[in-house]
Structure formats: structure tokens, C-alpha cells
Structure 1
């Protein structure tokens, strides 16, 4: 599972704390939710959380007005109400770039996508925009952009009541996605093949051999799936074809974490042998044989994945997040 990004309030807290410790913010400077949020291009929620922590540590203090005052040990200092950029706040270069709304949304999207997609097999959910914003410490605008992008990929839908819904990923839906894949991925592979060197294909085959010999960590198995089904076909020439392939892959690849705990050793051995057979044919220059082997691999893989849907059990705790509300519990 991708690492969770540092909450925005912690970033704001760290930058302000350093400025205060270095004496870069003048005594008497008023720090409020509004001017801190503007300075960091954030919502008021993470700004407020950062300010409360600074207050609890005694670095800023309450006063008679709204907000807090910097350098509270100097009660005689006048109150300065300035934009923080005018008051001496300097954002680190990487933070200045990363805090732009477009960049925050782009960095947040893969984690939300993975969490939502991995939850689909456990039922139908409402995605709460406010809870998503609060959970990651971002603005409602950024949360809305993330949800809109999820809808464009087909992971979620916005229904007539204006609520966002995800799931369920049913056995029927899995079958439909696999059918799209075994039709389209061999076509994409045929177009991509001339762009690969023998060395690249041999390197990917070698990873499969290591896994067959016992190196079957989660990361290594994900890399093997990524090698063949994502990175290889991504070199095809037809952008519309590639988009169609990726839409059908997305939900199934994202649910590998869910399905992985239910995969048997026999299923993994079969999968690895099929991947190796595809690379063997590609390295031998047998493109027709490789495409036929890829189609056969996808046709066979459909059935164990459909079977796993019936054996998932309860949703694991690591997928339970406040912005995913099971339908029936939304109130």
C-alpha cells in the first residue's frame, strides 16, 4: 500500500515552528486560521490544527482578539496584522511547489484511488467529500477534484442525489473487465513489441524466474504484474486503445492487495509460469505465440479472481477510512 503522505497540518506546524524558533516572525504578529491558510494555500482545518499545536507548546498565545500572537513572552509588543509573506514567512522551495492545489491533488490522488479501488469488493460505499478533505488535511476544492478524477476513470459515479458512490465490484463486473482485457491487451502488446530491446525483456523474465525460485514478496509480485500488464502494453501506439486497456485494468490491478491474501501457492505458481511463457515467446521473436499466450493467461486468471470474491470475508481495518461510508450507514 502506498505510504500515507505527511498530513498538511504537520507541514504547516513544522514550518511555522522553525520560523518562530529562529525569531523570523516579529513579536506581536497575529497568526490566525485565515492568514495561515492563505500563506500555505490550504484550508482552515489544517491551519487551525497547526496553530493549536503551536499554542499548546507555548510558542504562540491567545490574546484578546481572534487568533494567536507570536512571541508571547513580549506582552508589550504591538499587534501586527499582516499577510505572512509580508511578515517574513518563507516557504521552502519544494513546499512552495507542492502546496499548489494542482500538485496537492496530483500527489493525493494515487492513494485515494488505491484505497477506494481496493474497497470495492467489500460492497457499496458513499464517498463523503468533507470527510475526505478532513482526513488528508486539504481543502474541499482539492477533495472535489480528486473525486471528479475518480469518476472520470470509472471507479466512482455521482448519482442524481449529487452523492458520490463506489462499488460494488461484483463477479459479473470482474468477468466483463477480464473480457475487455483479453481482447485488448494482446493488440496493445503487438503494437508495443517493436519498442522493446532484448535486454529489457530478459530483465523482466529474470524477475519472474527469481519469484519462481521462491522470491515472492508482495513488492516483487506487484512488480511482475506491473511489468507485463501495465508497463509493457503502455508502449502501444494507439492512445485510445491504451486508455481502454487501462480502464479495464485499473480496478483489477488495484484489488491485488485485497485478493493477494486469498491466493494459493498453486495459483501463484501458475501465474508466474504463464508470465514466463509470454516472455519466452517474445524473446524468441514469436509475437503471435506471445499474444495468444497473453490472451490465454487472462482468460484463465478470470476464474480464480471471481472465486476469490466469494471468500473475502470482512473488510480489513486498513481499508476503513472515514470518507468511505458503507451504504446503509450513511444516515
Structure 2
């Protein structure tokens, strides 16, 4: 028995490298896994490695899926990958068993206790949510450099999701005016133009200050104070600032700030007209941070008044900020358009290709 357990431990150690595949890259980087089957596979791997699922334990699709509250398909794939890694083996038509020991059927109650001891590890969010941010990032990074066509099937293949999931992502990006459809129903990413920026900044200057007054009563005062502290800290050390920290401040000021807006139509309109936020995000990752201090000072003043329930003063300052940044944003777009296009992903091709 000791030799069997020893061999099992060796298999687990040797299989750790096999488990760490590309689909795990997000988890390894500290993000949640992109796919449900990855979460399930990781959970089972940990339970096997720790001995909570001892050698011989029988693992079947239906019982595992039932205890985790998921469908059988991601469980099937997770088990197949664990089998490929040599951690589990076919159990004579009775699913899989852990290691090479004789099959042992665990009572459902015991299986439930083992698998649900850390339920937060299973990400049950819709598949489109897991890839949305990465798809959006790739698309927005390409926008200053021309028009692009998105190949729906290739997008699904790239992320190992169905075309239905890929299409859901694209429809949601279309709702934010980041993609569109041409006369042939191809998914198109249009080139970002100066006119786009001028018009959307005008819309933002009309909508966001008005929304600020509506949302202020529901804003968490501790959150506002924390954000004001973060901005003050960045001002003190500027320009020795991580570009990502500035991106996060922008997201807080113009996206998280309005998340609690009760007027859903106004919120949707705000989201659709925030394309101008793409430009400073891209610019910061190509050039030194020299022009962002003025924005941080604007944010500090806005937050100062919001924290004291001075809605009208904050409203005036936000409108002034949005009007002021127009010229800078347009200048940055002109500079970005002169850079070489970014590295392309396989599902994003120039619009003049592909028979358009």
C-alpha cells in the first residue's frame, strides 16, 4: 500500500507540469480561469494532490456535475484532461478512478463535502464574460490603425468557445459601439477617427456631469475617500507612475462612478460614448507620462467636492475636464496613428482582406 501511495505521489508531481497548460495561463497570472472546465480540473487536481480524493476514488460525470451544480460537458472535459495527465484512469465503464488502486465508490454526501469545501473556486459566470475583456482589449488596441474584420469562427477557436459564445461577445461589443456589421453581415472594427472622438466627447460632456448629480447620493463615501487618497498618492509621485494605475483611476472615475446609476438608458448611453478613454490608455503604454498630471489634478478636485456632497461644484469641474481634454485626445490619436500596427491575433484581419 505504501508503494502504491508513493507511486501516486510521484504521478501527481510529474503531472503538475502537464496540468499547467495554456488554458491555465490566466490562473497562473493571478486571474480567474477563463473556462469553467479549467476551474473544475484545477479543483479536482487539488483534491487529488491533497489526498482528499484518495487512490481508487471513482469519479463519474453525473455525480461530480451534480455536486458542483454545473452541466456535464465541462466535467467531461476536466476528467479527460486529468486522464491525459495520468492522474485518473478509466474504471471499466464506470467513469474514472484516481490512480491505479481498486475502485472505491464514495457516498454522495462525502463527495459533496470534498468538492464543495471551496465553492468560490468554481467560476460559474457566463462563458462570454470570461473572454469579453481580452477581446475588447485586442479590438481597442487596433482601432487607431485602420479598419478590421473579425472572423467569428476564428475568434471562437482562439478562445475554445462555441460560435454562440463568440457571437454574444461581439453583440455586446456592438452595443458599446466598438464593433459594427457591414452590408455582408461581417463583423467590422472601424478606424477611430477625429470626428468620432469629437462627437463622443461632446456627448460625454452633456451626459456625465448630469449623471454625476444623480448618482452622488448612492456613492459609497468610503469608496470615494479611498479613490481620493489614491489620486493624491499618484500626484505626489508623478511622473513615476505605473500606466496601469492611471488606467484604473480612469476606470473608477468614469465607469465605476456611474455603475449605480438607476437610469439604465442614460447609463447605456454613457457607456456607448466612452470610446475616447481608449486613447489615453493606448498612449500611456507607448510614451512617457507627461500630460496626465492635469487630469489627476482635475480628478482630485472633483473627488474633493463629491466627498463633501457638493454636487454642483463637482458637476462643473467634470464638464470643464471633459471639454479641456478634447484637444489633447485628438493630438494623441494623431500620434498613435503613425505607429506600426500592433501584433495581430488570428481572428482580427485588415478589412480589405477576406473578400470584403
Scaled by the length of structure 1, the TM-score of the pair is 0.72
Residue 257 of structure 2 corresponds to residue 257 of structure 1: no
Which residue does 2:73 correspond to in 1? 40
- The CA distance in 1 between the partners of 2:96 and 2:171, in whole Å, is 32
Partner of 1:325, secondary structure, is strand
- The CA distance in 2 between the partners of 1:253 and 1:13, in whole Å, is 37
* Cα-Cα RMSD: 3.9
8 Å contact from structure 2 (residues 35, 130) kept in 1: no
Indicate how the Cα distance of structure 1 residues 274 and 41 shifts in structure 2: closer, same or farther if over 3 A, else same: same
For residues 2-29 of structure 1, the C-alpha deviation after alignment (integer angstroms, 9 at most, x for no partner) is 958456786687689898x955569xxx
Report the CA distance between 1:96 and its aligned residue: 11
Residue 333 of structure 2 corresponds to residue 326 of structure 1: no
- The CA distance in 1 between the partners of 2:218 and 2:121, in whole Å, is 38
Residue 271 of structure 2 corresponds to residue 246 of structure 1: yes
Indicate how the Cα distance of structure 1 residues 324 and 207 shifts in structure 2: closer, same or farther if over 3 A, else same: same
Which of these residues, 214, 222, 235, is aligned with residue 237 of structure 2? Answer: 214
Residue 144 of structure 2 corresponds to residue 121 of structure 1: yes
- The CA distance in 2 between the partners of 1:13 and 1:164, in whole Å, is 34
Which residue does 1:309 correspond to in 2? 333
Report the CA distance between 1:330 and its aligned residue: 2.7
Q: What runs of 5+ residues in structure 2 fail to find an aligned partner? A: 1-25, 49-53, 60-70, 98-104, 106-110
Indicate how the Cα distance of structure 1 residues 264 and 298 shifts in structure 2: closer, same or farther if over 3 A, else same: farther
Residue 322 of structure 2 corresponds to residue 290 of structure 1: no
Listed as ranges, the matches of 1:139-178 within 5 Å are 139-178=162-201
8 Å contact from structure 1 (residues 12, 40) kept in 2: no
8 Å contact from structure 1 (residues 13, 53) kept in 2: yes
Report the CA distance between 1:160 and its aligned residue: 2.6
8 Å contact from structure 2 (residues 211, 258) kept in 1: yes
Partner of 1:126, secondary structure, is strand
For residues 295-324 of structure 1, the C-alpha deviation after alignment (integer angstroms, 9 at most, x for no partner) is 11111112211111221201333xx21111
8 Å contact from structure 2 (residues 224, 307) kept in 1: yes
Scaled by the length of structure 2, the TM-score of the pair is 0.67
Which of these residues, 233, 249, 252, is aligned with residue 227 of structure 1? Answer: 252
Which of these residues, 177, 186, 192, is aligned with residue 215 of structure 2? Answer: 192
Report the CA distance between 1:207 and its aligned residue: 1.3
Partner of 1:235, secondary structure, is coil
